Structure formats: structure tokens, C-alpha cells
């Protein structure tokens, strides 16, 4: 969303948010947690046609599965593409807008941007891609009052010193996207860049906390990860968890991200959403990846 917002800003396109998917909370998604920062459009056609990929409700996973199992002829996809284009053009004409997300998504994630310069007086952008994204985050990362109170409650539950380090060590179904790195690789980077020996750890597997405490007894590790958590598997979680619990888990994640953003040094994976996001939110010289030497669009 941050990159798409920046793309629209750079190309004089109004950014409009569709926020009624109800995946993470009771009424909206983003706006149940954050203050509004732009116009919204919650027409029902968005759920079916306003997707990140061209194929709309079918999606690339379904397309790939159908091709493998031969349940749909490959020749049918150009027809589906044509139908979606025609229906999409109809909605654009009726409701007066120019683009669906899938038409701009790949452009907004263009890695050529990593070497570009950005300037915008309205929100004080004057720098590279990470600098530009940081200004956008400052604009949009504003909690609703009730969410702010819950986030602060989580943050106050653990007593962090004025100076500490930050870690994000991924687990669960993320192994399917990228190889899980050994904790020693994370710790080696921290020890290279700081003499501090106290850290906050964002993880979905409490077993990682136990390993850190066992392997590095001279360190002190803090976390909001529950002792019963043993990895996050998205499909299982979404199928077996009620909306209120999902919302609370997101609020705990927001609190963790706030804590990490204040760390002296952060080490994680730039190929994960938390690592990519913190590479935007924090000063770039404070963030390090165990997967890539430099922050990148992922």
C-alpha cells in the first residue's frame, strides 16, 4: 500500500482505499485500526475485480492449480482475461475512475525505484525510496484512539530500556517463501554492529525465544510472543480463529513493530513484510538483513 500510494503521488493519481474485505476485523480492515488518510470506495465490485493480480477472483494460485490438474483449458484464460477487462471497463465508466489495483501494482513495485530520487513538497519528501516511504508512513501510521490504548498496553507489559536492539526471526509458513535462517546469523550481525546485549524479538514461534536464551545466556531477550505459539500458518489461523482474536493479534503485531522501530539496530529479513516495512520506517543505517545486504522491494 505504501508503494502504491507513492506511485500515485508521483504520477498525479488519486489514491483511493478499498477497505471492506472484513478479513481482519468486524467492519473494515485498515480503518478499524488507523485514522483515515485518503478517500475510500467500498462498492461491492471491488472484492471481485479490484485485486493485485489481473485474473481478479480467480487469482494466480487457482490458475496454476487448474492448469496442473487440467480442470480448465489453457485456451480459456485469454477469454477470461477479456471478460474481466470488459467488466472492469464497465465499472470504471459507471463510477468514474481510471485504474484497478492490478493495473498499477507491478508498476508500484518496480525495483528501478530503489535507485530513484523523490521530491514532494506536500509531505516533505526529499530523498531516495526509503526516505520517501518513511514520510508516507509518518502520514498514515496513526492509530485510532481505542487501538492506540491497546497498543500502549502491550508495550507497557514489557519493560524495555532506553537503548536496545531489535530482531525479527520468521517461522511458520514463511519457510515456503524463503529459507529460514539460523538464529546465529541474526545474532552475529547484532554483535557486529552493537555492544548492547538486550533485544526485543518479534517472532511467531516461542521455541526461537527458548533457543536464543539457551544459546546466548549473557543476553536478555524480550518478546510479545506467547509461550504457546509455535509458528504462524496463515490458512489454519484464518480458518480457526474468530475475527476479534485476529484483530487483537494484529494489534499485538503493531505494538511489536512500534517497539522494533525504536531499536538502536534492527536485524531481520528484507524478504519479509516486517523487514521490508522497518527498512522504510527506520533510518536506513540502522537496519540489516540476513538475506540481502541492502534493503529492497520484495
> 121-147 pLDDT, tens per residue?
888 999 999 999 999 999 999 999 999
Confidence of residue 2 (pLDDT cuts 50, 70, 90): very high
Among 3-7, 28-32, 41-45, 63-67, top mean pLDDT goes to: 3-7
- 484464518: which residue's cell? 238
This prediction's pTM: 0.84
CA 290 – CA 296 distance, rounded (Å) = 13
CA 37 – CA 15 distance, rounded (Å) = 10
CATH topology of domain 145-289: Rossmann fold (3.40.50)
The DSSP output letter for 204 is S
- H helical segments located in 74-205: 76-95, 101-108, 129-140, 145-157, 183-193
Q: What is the pLDDT of residue 83?
A: 75
CA 228 – CA 242 distance, rounded (Å) = 18
Q: Dump pLDDT digits (tens) for 175-232.
A: 444 445 689 999 999 999 999 999 999 999 999 999 999 999 999 999 999 998 866 5
Residue 59 has pLDDT above 70, yes or no: no
Please return the burial class of 64, using the count of CB atoms within 10 Å of its CB with bins 0-12, 13-18 and 19+.
exposed
Confidence of residue 42 (pLDDT cuts 50, 70, 90): confident
Q: What is the pLDDT of residue 264?
A: 98
CA 298 – CA 281 distance, rounded (Å) = 15
HSE-up (13 A, CA, CB side) for residue 211: 13
**Which of helix, strand or coil describes residue 40?**
strand
Residues forming CATH 3.40.50.11350 domain(s) in the chain: 145-289
Confidence of residue 242 (pLDDT cuts 50, 70, 90): confident
Q: What is the pLDDT of residue 71?
A: 46
pLDDT top residue among 207 and 29: 207
CA 17 – CA 1 distance, rounded (Å) = 9
CB 258 within 8 A of CB 142: no
CA 190 – CA 265 distance, rounded (Å) = 7
**Which of helix, strand or coil describes residue 118?**
strand
Task: Cell numbers for 4, please give them.
Answer: 502504491
Confidence of residue 67 (pLDDT cuts 50, 70, 90): very low
Amino acid at each position: 500500500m505504501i508503494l502504491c500510494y507513492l506511485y500515485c503521488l508521483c504520477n498525479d493519481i488519486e489514491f483511493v482505499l478499498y477497505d471492506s474485505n472484513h478479513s481482519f476485523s468486524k467492519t473494515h480492515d485498515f480503518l478499524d485500526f488507523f485514522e483515515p488518510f485518503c478517500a475510500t470506495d467500498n462498492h461491492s465490485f471491488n472484492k471481485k475485480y479490484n485485486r493485485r493480480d489481473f485474473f481478479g477472483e480467480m487469482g494466480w494460485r487457482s490458475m496454476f492449480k487448474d492448469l496442473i490438474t487440467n480442470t480448465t483449458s489453457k485456451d480459456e484464460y485469454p477469454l477470461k482475461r477479456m471478460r474481466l477487462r470488459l467488466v472492469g471497463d464497465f465499472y470504471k465508466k459507471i463510477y468514474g475512475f481510471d485504474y484497478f489495483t492490478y493495473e498499477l501494482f507491478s508498476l508500484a513495485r518496480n525495483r528501478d525505484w530503489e535507485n530513484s530520487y523523490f521530491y514532494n513538497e506536500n509531505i516533505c519528501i526529499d530523498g531516495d525510496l526509503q526516505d520517501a516511504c518513511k514520510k508516507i508512513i509518518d502520514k498514515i501510521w496513526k492509530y485510532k484512539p481505542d487501538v492506540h490504548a491497546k497498543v500502549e498496553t502491550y508495550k507497557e507489559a514489557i519493560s524495555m530500556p532506553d537503548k536496545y536492539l531489535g530482531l525479527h526471526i520468521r517461522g511458520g509458513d514463511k519457510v515456503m517463501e524463503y529459507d529460514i535462517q539460523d538464529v546465529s546469523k541474526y545474532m552475529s550481525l547484532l554483535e557486529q554492529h552493537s555492544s548492547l546485549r538486550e533485544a526485543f524479538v518479534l517472532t511467531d514461534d516461542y521455541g526461537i525465544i527458548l533457543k536464543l536464551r539457551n544459546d546466548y545466556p549473557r543476553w536478555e531477550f524480550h518478546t510479545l510472543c506467547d509461550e504457546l505459539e509455535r509458528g504462524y500458518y496463515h490458512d489454519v489461523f484464518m480458518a480457526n480463529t474468530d475475527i476479534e482474536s485476529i484483530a487483537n493479534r494484529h494489534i499485538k503485531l503493531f505494538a511489536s513493530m512500534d517497539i522494533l522501530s525504536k531499536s538502536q539496530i534492527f536485524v531481520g529479513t528484507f524478504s519479509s513484510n516486517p523487514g521490508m516495512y522497518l527498512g522504510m520506517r527506520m533510518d536506513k543505517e540502522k537496519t540489516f538483513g540476513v538475506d540481502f545486504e541492502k534493503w529492497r522491494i520484495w
